[in-house]
């Protein structure tokens, strides 16, 4: 059965989508059957996987409100080797609609139920908020991957997220835990980043992934080509980091 991971951080622009797309592609290259769920109305994970969000007729929105099944809405990423449950602006209205539906926090979990045998890993790209959409992601997942930049304010935001995860664990999803923290956009020349990185290690111990993703312009360029960075430039430093991260994830899943 699939192991399901939410990639979440309520801070915007911290590398959630970049992590999802590149991890999905690296897992696929390692032979893992992978599904990437885009849970953000911005549709960045959809576009970054080479799927045109404007041409999508059935999306994660339709799945959440019960107008389509996952089987009807998923598409193959032409560049990534994994499946995508796409998102676009349709999803922006879902928040309000979900409030009136039964099992509103569990809509995604319920939608995945019949498809667990199709995948080894499922990744969920969350929007930058602790909204009903993110809550659906957290209720569907076994673990949370938290990408973060090693900056001063990063630690402050982290406690809100950790508290939310604890609350979801106690009240809605006993299976949920923090899988790990991933340091991204890392610049080893900056003393502050090294300090925050060391603080993270001392505070979170082996919850901090060994792999560190450097700031790498090739990763930022790849989405405009509709490709994960690891496919766009195989030799890039960012590619090597995400490949190492995928191996670490595979190890952690095996150890579960």
Restricting to residues 113-132, name those near ligand ATP by CB under 6 A: 128
- Interface residue with ligand ATP, options 15, 80, 81, 180 (CB under 6 A): 15
**Least distance between Mg ion and beta carbon 171 (Å):** 26
**Least distance between Mg ion and beta carbon 40 (Å):** 5
Rounded Cα–Cα distance for residues 256 and 253 (Å): 5
Q: How many residues bind ligand ATP (CB under 6 A)?
A: 20
Indicate which of ligand ATP, Mg ion, none lies near residue 184 (CB less than 5 to 8 Å, by partner kind): ligand ATP
- Interface residue with Mg ion, options 16, 107, 109, 183 (CB under 5 A): 16
**Binding span for ligand ATP by CB under 6 A among 111-119, 138-146, 213-221, 246-254:** 213-221
CB-based contact 183:213 (threshold 8 Å)? yes
**Interaction of residue 18 with ligand ATP, rule CB under 6 A:** yes
Written in H, E and C, the secondary structure of the chain is CCEEEEECCCCCCCCHHHHHHHHHHHHHHCCCCEEEEECCCCCHHHHHCCCCHHHCCCCHHHHHHCCCCHHHHCEECCCCCCEEECCCHHHHHHHHHHHCCCCHHHHHHHHHHHHHHHCCEEEEECCCCCCHHHHHHHHHCCEEEEEECCCHHHHHHHHHHHHHHHHHHHHCCCCCEEEEEEEEEECCCCHHHHHHHHHHHHHHHHHEEEEEEECCHHHHHHHHHCCCHHHHCCCCHHHHHHHHHHHHHHHHHHHC
The DSSP secondary-structure symbol of 12 reads T
**Least distance between ligand ATP and beta carbon 41 (Å):** 10
CB-based contact 146:28 (threshold 8 Å)? no
**Interaction of residue 188 with ligand ATP, rule CB under 6 A:** no
Restricting to residues 42-61, name those near ligand ATP by CB under 6 A: 42, 44
**Binding span for Mg ion by CB under 5 A among 25-33, 43-51, 94-102, 230-238:** 43-51
**Least distance between Mg ion and beta carbon 191 (Å):** 28
Indicate which of Mg ion, ligand ATP, none lies near residue 253 (CB less than 5 to 8 Å, by partner kind): none
- Interface residue with ligand ATP, options 3, 62, 109, 215 (CB under 6 A): 215
**Binding span for Mg ion by CB under 5 A among 16-24, 48-56, 133-141, 156-164:** 16-24
- Where does this chain bind ligand ATP (CB under 6 A)? 12-18, 40, 42, 44, 128, 184-185, 213, 215-217, 219-220, 238
């Amino acid at each position: 059965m699939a192991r399901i991971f939410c990639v979440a951080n309520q801070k915007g622009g911290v590398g959630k989508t970049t992590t999802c797309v590149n991890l999905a592609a690296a897992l696929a290259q390692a032979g893992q059957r992978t599904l990437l769920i885009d849970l953000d109305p911005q549709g960045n994970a959809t576009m970054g996987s080479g799927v045109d969000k404007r041409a999508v007729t059935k999306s994660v929105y339709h799945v959440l409100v019960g107008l389509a099944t996952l089987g009807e809405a998923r598409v193959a990423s032409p560049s990534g080797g994994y499946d995508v449950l796409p998102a676009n602006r349709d999803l922006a209205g879902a928040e309000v609609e979900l409030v009136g539906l039964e099992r509103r926090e569990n809509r995604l979990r319920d939608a995945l139920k019949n498809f667990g045998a199709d995948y080894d890993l499922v990744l969920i790209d969350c929007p930058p908020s602790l909204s009903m959409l993110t809550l659906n992601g957290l209720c569907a997942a076994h673990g949370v991957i938290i990408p973060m930049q090693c900056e001063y304010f990063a630690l402050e935001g982290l406690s809100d997220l950790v508290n939310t995860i604890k609350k979801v664990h106690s009240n809605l999803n006993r299976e949920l835990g923090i899988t790990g923290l991933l340091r991204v956009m890392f610049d080893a020349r900056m003393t502050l980043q090294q300090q925050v990185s060391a603080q993270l290690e001392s505070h979170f111990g082996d919850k901090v992934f060994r792999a560190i993703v450097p700031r790498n312009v090739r990763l930022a360029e790849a989405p405009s080509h509709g490709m994960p960075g690891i496919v766009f430039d195989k030799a890039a430093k960012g590619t090597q980091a995400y490949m190492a991260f995928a191996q670490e994830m595979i190890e952690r899943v095996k150890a579960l």
